Amino acid sequence: MSTFAGERLRLASGCMILPDPVAESGLRMSIDHASVRRIARLARLAVADADLPRVAAELSRVLELADQLADAPLDGVEPMAHPHAQALAWRADAVTEGDRADALLALAPDSRGGLYLVPKVIE
């Protein structure tokens, strides 16, 4: 999420992300308070005005972590669905339960043609 100093980035959600003026390189991103309020509303979180600077700093650190992960070298890393080498346990596709439809229908108060009959509840 690198930007040049003074450049703004508008996310699809409408949040504005600004470069942090404190950072020397201009690459560190910070989230403004309006964006924190919008994110909190979307997440249905109550964030007090006094907590806005702290939450903005925490969200900025999350974005920095995402930037670091995006820059990680992935050469030779195989895609995986799970971190552990696992194999699915296959079993034979065989019927283990017999046909019990008649026995289950016999338990119903009323049935007809292999279907359960229930009282009408809506006119």
Mean pLDDT over each residue of the chain, to the nearest integer: 80
pLDDT confidence bin for 5, thresholds 50/70/90? very low
What is the residue whose two structure tokens read 């979180």? 45
List the structure tokens of 15: 């949040």
| pLDDT tens sequence across 21-57 | 444 444 556 689 999 999 999 999 999 999 999 999 9
For the chain, percent of residues with pLDDT exceeding 90: 39
- What are the backbone angles phi and psi of residue 116, rounded to the nearest 5°? -80, 135
pTM exceeds cut of 0.85: no
